[in-house]
Structure 1
Amino acid sequence: MNTMNDVEVIINNKRYTLSGYESGDYLQKIASYINTKHTEFKMMESYNKLDVDMRNILMQINIADDYFKVVNQVKDMNEEADVKGNELFDLKHEVIATQTKLEALQKEYEKLHNEYNEAQKTIIKLQTELEDSKKK
């Protein structure tokens, strides 16, 4: 079982201890993401005029927005992967069917080629017999 990790991070110029079963690097990445969001919002003059509660709500809404956009991207990518998987499945079956037809055609070719060779032998034999009968 995984062990709990405690990692000290700085978010918005304040020190926090994050705890989780994820790696310390992962927890630092989360803190970095939140700091990036804070930096983005602090650049907006209108954000700085809001009270603390409204800033927090705005931050939460934007983080949730990012989350749902990524969830939708993953959903779209999974749907696209399913479509591509189905296409690949169909193509594999088409290849198998084509290989089966090719094998059947190769067998038919060999059969016809053998019949042709036998016919050639028969022709030569008959020509020889004809020539022999003409000589007599």
Structure 2
Amino acid sequence: MNTKNDVEVIINGKQYTLSGYESSEYLQKIANHINDKIAEFKEQDGYLRLDTEMKNILLAINLSDEYYKALKDSNDIKKENEEMEKEIFDIKHEMLTMQSELDKANEQIKKLAEERQAAKDQVIRLETELGRNKHR
């Protein structure tokens, strides 16, 4: 079982302890992401005039928006991957079918070549026989 990690982080200038089964680096990355979002908001006019609750709601809305957009992108990629896998399967099936048809065609070519050679041999025999009959 994974061990629980406690990591001291600073979010918006205040120290917090994040706990989780993820790595310390991951938990720090989460804190950095939140700090980056807060820094983005601080650049917007009017953000600093909002009360703390509204700032927290704004942060929660934006993080949720990012989450659901990433989830949609992930689902879109999964769907596209499934479609590509089906297309690859269909192409492989088509290739096998074509290979089978090619093998049959090659067998037929070989058979026709043998028949052609047999016909040539027969023509030579008949011409030879005809030549003998003319000389008699």
TM-score in same-fold range (> 0.5): yes
- Which blocks of at least 5 consecutive residues in structure 2 are unaligned? none
Displaced runs of 4 or more, over 4 A: none
Query: Residue in 1 aligned with 2:63?
Result: 63
Root-mean-square deviation (Å): 0.9
Normalising by structure 2, we get a TM-score of: 0.96
Normalising by structure 1, we get a TM-score of: 0.96
1:25, distance to aligned residue in structure 2 (A): 1.1
Query: Residue in 1 aligned with 2:126?
Result: 126
Following the alignment from structure 2 to structure 1, what is the Cα–Cα distance between the partners of residues 11 and 115?
85
Percent of aligned pairs sharing the same letter: 47
- 1:13-48 Cα shifts (integer Å, max 9, x gaps): 111111111111111111111110010001112111
Query: Residue in 2 aligned with 1:32?
Result: 32
Query: Residue in 2 aligned with 1:74?
Result: 74
- Which blocks of at least 5 consecutive residues in structure 1 are unaligned? none
- 1:59-78 Cα shifts (integer Å, max 9, x gaps): 00000000000001011111
Give the letter for the 2:74 counterpart: V
- 1:96-135 Cα shifts (integer Å, max 9, x gaps): 1100100010111111111111111111111111111111
Following the alignment from structure 2 to structure 1, what is the Cα–Cα distance between the partners of residues 83 and 102?
28
Give the number of equivalent residue pairs.
136
Following the alignment from structure 1 to structure 2, what is the Cα–Cα distance between the partners of residues 51 and 91?
59
Following the alignment from structure 1 to structure 2, what is the Cα–Cα distance between the partners of residues 26 and 65?
20
